[in-house]
Amino acid sequence: MNGKVKNTIGIGGKTSPKEAGAKESAAASQLLALLESRYAMRVLWALRDGHAQTFRLLQDSVGGITPNTLNTRLKELRAAGLLHHDNDGYLLTATGLELSRRLAEVTAYAPKLSASQGRAKPR
């Protein structure tokens, strides 16, 4: 997650629809880049039940992740406001829980899309 989004303000302090669309597109691109990071989705999935997990338990839940990679993903997800850490361990924030619910909807929709693509005739 290296890309910073330049804040552009229109005349009179109002954002034009074009600028707003560009900001939304940049935000979506940043979110997708984070989710494409190796193990990021698996970390979110491991925490989606709302129960705190320690670093070690989370490492076991994700499976196959090195401590360095898990530490990096946790820092990135915390910086994005998707999870936080307290005395009990790591938990999704309200935003992280909402995202995990929306990702579950995408996951449920994926087989329908896949089936419709299989029926589509090439042009």
Q: Three-state SS string across the chain, please?
A: CCCCCCCCCCHHHCCCHHHHHHHHHHHHHHHHHHHHCCCHHHHHHHHCCCCCECHHHHHHHHCCCCHHHHHHHHHHHHHCCCEEEECCEEEECHHHHHHHHHHHHHHHHHHHHHHHHHHCCCC
Q: What is the per-residue pLDDT for 75?
A: 97
Q: What is the per-residue pLDDT for 122?
A: 58
Domain identity same for 66 and 109: yes
Domain identity same for 84 and 103: yes
Domain identity same for 61 and 108: yes
> What are φ and ψ of residue 91, in 5° steps?
-140, 150
| Domain count along the chain | 2
Domain identity same for 43 and 7: no
User: What pLDDT, in 10s, does the model give residues 79-113?
Assistant: 999 999 999 999 999 999 999 999 999 999 999 88
Q: 95: domain CATH number? A: 1.10.10.10
Domain identity same for 90 and 45: yes
Domain identity same for 102 and 49: yes
Q: Is 38 left (phi over 0), alpha (psi -120 to 50) or beta?
A: beta
Q: What is the per-residue pLDDT for 26?
A: 87
Domain identity same for 60 and 101: yes
Domain identity same for 81 and 21: no
Q: Which domain holds residue 25?
A: 1-36
Domain identity same for 59 and 115: yes
Residue 89 in tokens = 């361990």
User: What pLDDT, in 10s, does the model give residues 32-91?
Assistant: 889 999 999 999 999 999 999 999 999 999 999 999 999 999 999 999 999 999 999 999
